Structure 1
Amino acid sequence: MNKYAVQLAFAYMGVIIGGGFASGQEILQFFTGYGMASIAGTVLAGLLFAFLGMQIARISTTSQAQSHKDVLCLLFGRRAGAVMDILLTFFLFGVGVAMLAAAGSLFKQQFGFSPVVGSVFMTVLVVLTLCLNVKRIIDLVSLATPLLMALVLVITTYSLFTSNADLDQLLTLSQGQETVAPHWALGAVLYASFNIAVGFPMLAVISGRSRDIKTTSRGGALGGVGLGLLILLLNVSLFSNLNQLHGAELPTLMLASRLSPVVGILMTVSITCMIYSTAVGMFFAFSARFSSPETGRFRVLSLSSCTIGLVLSFVGFTTLVGSVYPLLGYLGLLLIAAVLVNWFRGRSMAAGVVNDIA
């Protein structure tokens, strides 16, 4: 498969995964709490990510999108697209700020440092990355994903072989888990809607810089399949050890640390990388909305937005997640609906052309 398609897939996965996925908290609330039905939920989410990734990449490449606004105007029309653009741009910045705050929380919990240290460290990394060219950004963001994939495979294998609870006990424990929706299918759709809104802007910009529709479409689909596989593996490992994860804020890290202190350190590094990749994706897409990448104006805007984001991050990670993420989920549902309508229209037009020829 084309190397660019694989890089695009890893970048797509890296931006969406973020710190919440790597820590295991998102998977617990959106999937594991539904018991055995969570397997079906992970499959549904993976299919949605693959389909949406492929369609967004196709639309972006076809239109040669310079920013996510170009794609939004195609999907929603000029006026509604402009409104969606304003809303999404605002939330992009909000998620970027939340990632800076997440780095502060991680450094405090793992190393006992002041949250300011972690937030400043992450801000500096993000600014330095955004000063590179686009290809280097894709390379750096995509590098973090294979590390997490390897760690999830190791943790899943370990969890399955060391689980000391029977299925009935695990099912009972899963019923006591907090979930985001009354049904597993709705939980999977909500997970996809929130995360596709996060991944859409960077996927649109990266795909728009290529003229090879087949390559970018494959990259989007491959990234979605990879996301589905990661969700499935992490869900299985968490479910099989529910009896040992009560009250854990970072359940994945707990499993990794139990396996080995070295694996625990590697997982801490992995979570940091995921926070980094999401932060880079958010601030990159935000800055690309107002200026062309690899220009002096883009670098100045990146520095300014990250500095402002650093100050706002001191509000706290939990507060930011509680206020920004739910609203972004609703925006994601609108985006999914628009992509589906665009896909149906494309199929209808193609069918009409075939009929006319016949």
Structure 2
Amino acid sequence: MSNKKKILQVAATYIGTVVGAGFATGKEIVEFFISSGVAGLLGILFTGLGFIWIGTKIMRLSSQYGFDSYQAFNDYLFGKKFGLFINSLFLVILFGTTSVMIAGTGSLFQEQLGIAKIWGILFIVLFCFLAMLKGLQGILTVNSIIVPIMIGFTLLIAYLTLGNPTLSHWSFPFPELWSDSRWFINALVYVSYNVTMAIVVLAPLGNEINDERILKWGGFIGGLGLTVILLSSFIVLGTLPHVKTFNIPMAQAIKAYGPLIHYVYVAVVFGEIFSTVIGNVFGLGRQLQNWLHLSQNKIVILILLICVCIGLGDFGTLLAFFYRLFGTIGLFILFFIIFFPVFTLRSQKRLK
């Protein structure tokens, strides 16, 4: 495989890992950026820089130190004793976020297709189990297909919105840019949550690729791609009145373009959610296998059953609760990642 293809594969996997149910449906963008008005644009730019810098750093560190899982990454960063606590925390967070993704699929089927929520949940669970049979290579393949379609579709909708005189005006209030600090706090929490959760896939990915140049460019293009998607979604959602009242606000905005584009959107969102779910299940499976010593298939079935039980709750409520809570916790982990060299020698001593 050529280096260019590997770079794009790394970038696609990074994007696919971050873009989950909240991102794809627009609920996250409303919660963290639209809520700050036009100042949310500053939050998106700050978030993009965070994605590029920290995501790349995680992969490069994993390549340099041979971290084949997020457990190994955390053990080295925090030491074995505290690393055990952090890994346990990751386990809870991953179960919570994967449940949110599954709940998002149920809402997608129910609100946009008129199909009972449970069928959407069972549908994504089945596809996830099949993808997990291929391991990390399955994740790379899925993202290589889904992510280019997702970016192209998002840019198309943003272009159509800007070109439509009846839609190309923002409906939210415009607070003073510098008098409201929520945009910065929201962006910080958003970066911390998404990047720390991406360690689940980025750590083993960096170790497997093990090429500094590929990881640098893959991280840069991946972070840039995430920024473009956020900006495009912001443009589209800013035109939607009462945007906070919808569980899947992006679908409401897209309905203006007719049923064909709407159904294509539903398929794209499912693909986006699916790409993140398989990444989360992959990370959960690796950790639980070390603890339970069961076969991979049994571990995956156990994970999916637990997440289905939690995911039967309301998507919007689950997202607002889990993402802000875990984003705040992630700030602590993010601090250690940013200042990694400062703690390296101390961590090494604790491992001895």
Q: TM-score by structure 2 length?
A: 0.87
**CA gap 1:315/1:256 in 2 versus in 1, 3 angstroms:** closer
CA contact (8 A) 1:197 1:328 kept: no
Say if 2:18 is the partner of 1:19: no
CA contact (8 A) 1:126 1:279 kept: yes
Unaligned runs of 5+ in 1: 176-180, 347-358
Q: TM-score by structure 1 length?
A: 0.86
Task: State the identity as a percent.
Answer: 25
* Superposed displacement of residue 221, structure 1: 2.5
Task: For 1:144 and 1:46, locate their aligned partners in 2 and report how far apart those are by CA, in whole Å.
Answer: 21
Greater CA drift, 55-64 or 108-117: 108-117
**CA gap 1:214/1:246 in 2 versus in 1, 3 angstroms:** closer
How many residue pairs get aligned? The number is 337
* Superposed displacement of residue 166, structure 1: 8.4
SS at match of 1:222: helix
Amino acid at match of 1:186: I
* Superposed displacement of residue 102, structure 1: 1.6
* Superposed displacement of residue 4, structure 1: 1.7
CA contact (8 A) 1:194 1:325 kept: yes
* Match runs of 1:147-296 below 5 Å: 147-164=149-166, 170=170, 173-174=173-174, 182-239=181-238, 241-243=239-241, 245=243, 247-291=245-289
* Match runs of 1:1-358 below 5 Å: 2-164=4-166, 170=170, 173-174=173-174, 182-239=181-238, 241-243=239-241, 245=243, 247-291=245-289, 297-342=295-340
Task: For 1:272 and 1:224, locate their aligned partners in 2 and report how far apart those are by CA, in whole Å.
Answer: 21
Amino acid at match of 1:251: P
Amino acid at match of 1:270: V
Greater CA drift, 86-95 or 303-312: 303-312
Task: Kindly provide the CA deviation profile for residues 232-263 of structure 1, in whole angstroms up to 9, marking residues without a partner as x.
Answer: 12212322x14474734322212222123211
Amino acid at match of 2:295: R
Residue aligning to 2:349 = none
Task: For 1:311 and 1:28, locate their aligned partners in 2 and report how far apart those are by CA, in whole Å.
Answer: 26
* Superposed displacement of residue 83, structure 1: 1.0
CA contact (8 A) 1:287 1:302 kept: yes
CA contact (8 A) 1:257 1:265 kept: no
Task: For 2:90 and 2:122, locate their aligned partners in 1 and report how far apart those are by CA, in whole Å.
Answer: 25
SS at match of 1:50: helix
* Superposed displacement of residue 18, structure 1: 0.8
Task: For 1:123 and 1:282, locate their aligned partners in 2 and report how far apart those are by CA, in whole Å.
Answer: 13
* Superposed displacement of residue 38, structure 1: 2.1
Task: For 1:265 and 1:165, locate their aligned partners in 2 and report how far apart those are by CA, in whole Å.
Answer: 20
CA contact (8 A) 2:136 2:282 kept: no
SS at match of 1:66: coil
* Superposed displacement of residue 147, structure 1: 1.5
Amino acid at match of 2:209: S
Task: For 1:30 and 1:83, locate their aligned partners in 2 and report how far apart those are by CA, in whole Å.
Answer: 28
* Superposed displacement of residue 159, structure 1: 1.0
Task: For 1:11 and 1:268, locate their aligned partners in 2 and report how far apart those are by CA, in whole Å.
Answer: 21
What's the RMSD between the two structures over aligned residues?
Answer: 2.5
CA contact (8 A) 1:88 1:331 kept: no
Unaligned runs of 5+ in 2: 345-352
CA contact (8 A) 1:36 1:171 kept: no
